């Protein structure tokens, strides 16, 4: 199908929590709608980031932003909307076929349906404790612990984010290794530092989302905020008191869903249920051929096999084993 109006095309929007493999879906669906059944690239650490070129270039206007923090670059919601719509309008004639676009910002869902009325929206959900725990571990290992990782952000934005993460990391490490904390951060991907840093970052992110008590019996239970929109405290303010709140909570993510959203539970990957993936994709792009169903199943199995199987199916053991390795128990 071809069309000169970018707003009228039946684009596919994928919205998903951090660490739940939405990039894999984006790459897979992109191949399907372009009648391409070639192998989907999966890296050694299980990542499949094949649809991030525009994000890295800073030209991913159709997503209206990759993360909620992108909204903070604008003085007002009106300014933000004008910026994206004006740049999308410039894509007329350049984009003439349906695109696969993804975001972590659930507040964008109403914008997709409003401005792209013929689009479909696929949402990955995480409702069970195991889904949430696995997503945190996956996010840290794939995005924060791979020195060769190409992030879906413009380089300067990713550099700024990494600097912030390293400051938080150093603060946490200081409680364990004292004055060595700066050295460990500077060499976080080498030797024994790697497992220590991975452990700290997973622990910190679990704490951030209110999940640490699920995996550490000594942790004090806190509010689970995995499925609500988080308004981050400006880092300059947060760093003054590293023990203070790092965000304010907004509405539940599901409050942004509409009746046309296709929901895919993250458990499909954890439990190895390719049928759930096939059904969700069919609900999103239309009836599939037998060949396409087989293709999806083959790529799904390849992707799942590339994941750390302990992390994927038993995050409690994964965290415990990592802790024992770090502290030589």
Tell me what pLDDT residue 2 has: 43
Q: Are 193 and 184 in contact (CB under 8 A)?
A: yes
CATH of the domain spanning 12-128+254-309: 3.40.50
DSSP assignment letter at 95? B
Element (H, E) at 179: none
Q: Are 265 and 131 in contact (CB under 8 A)?
A: yes
Tell me what pLDDT residue 50 has: 86
Half-sphere exposure of 50 (CA within 13 A, CB side): 18
Please list the pLDDT of the chain residue by residue as tens digits (329 residues).
344 599 999 999 999 999 999 999 999 999 999 999 999 999 988 999 888 999 999 999 999 999 998 998 899 999 999 999 999 999 999 999 999 999 999 999 999 999 999 999 999 999 999 999 999 999 999 999 999 888 999 999 999 889 989 999 999 999 999 999 999 999 999 998 999 999 999 999 999 999 999 999 999 999 999 999 998 766 666 666 666 667 788 999 999 999 999 999 999 999 999 999 999 999 999 999 999 999 999 999 999 999 999 999 999 999 999 999 999 85
> What is this structure's pTM?
0.94
What does the CA dihedral 55, 256, 4, 98 come to, rounded to 10 degrees?
Answer: 60
Tell me what pLDDT residue 241 has: 61
Boundaries of every domain in the chain: 12-128+254-309, 129-251+313-327
Phi, psi of 275 (to 5 degrees): -60, -35
Residue from 324, 319, 314 nearest 129 by CA:
314
Question: How many angstroms separate the CA atoms of 54 and 57, rounded?
Answer: 5
The pair of structure tokens assigned to 52 is: 């991030």
């Amino acid at each position: 199908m071809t069309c000169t109006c970018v707003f009228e095309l039946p684009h596919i929007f994928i919205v998903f929590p951090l660490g739940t493999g939405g990039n894999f879906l984006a790459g897979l669906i992109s191949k399907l709608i372009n009648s391409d059944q070639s192998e989907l690239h999966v890296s050694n650490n299980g990542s499949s980031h094949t649809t991030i070129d525009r994000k890295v270039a800073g030209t991913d206007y159709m997503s209206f932003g990759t993360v909620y923090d992108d909204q903070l670059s604008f003085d007002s919601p009106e300014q933000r909307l004008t910026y994206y719509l004006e740049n999308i309008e410039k894509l007329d004639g350049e984009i003439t076929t349906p695109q696969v676009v993804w975001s972590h910002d659930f507040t964008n869902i109403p914008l997709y349906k409003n401005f792209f009325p013929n689009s479909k929206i696929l949402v990955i959900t995480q409702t069970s404790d195991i889904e949430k725990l696995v997503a945190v571990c996956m996010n840290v290992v794939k995005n924060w612990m791979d020195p060769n990782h190409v992030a879906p952000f413009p380089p300067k934005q990713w550099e700024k984010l990494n600097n912030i993460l390293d400051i938080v990391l150093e603060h946490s490490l200081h409680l364990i290794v004292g004055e060595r904390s700066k050295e460990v951060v500077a060499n976080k991907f080498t030797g024994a530092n790697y497992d220590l840093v991975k452990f700290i970052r997973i622990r910190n992110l679990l704490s951030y989302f209110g999940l640490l008590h699920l995996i550490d019996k000594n942790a004090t239970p806190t509010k689970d905020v995995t499925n609500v929109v988080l308004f981050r405290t400006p880092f300059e303010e947060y760093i003054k008191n590293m023990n203070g709140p790092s965000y304010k909570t907004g509405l539940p993510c599901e409050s942004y869903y509409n009746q046309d959203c296709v929901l895919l539970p993250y458990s499909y990957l954890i439990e190895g249920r390719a049928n759930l993936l096939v059904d969700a994709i069919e609900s999103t792009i239309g009836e599939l051929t037998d060949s396409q169903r087989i293709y999806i199943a083959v790529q799904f199995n390849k992707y799942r096999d590339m994941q750390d199987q302990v992390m994927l199916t038993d995050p409690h053991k994964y965290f415990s084993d990592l802790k024992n390795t770090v502290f030589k128990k």
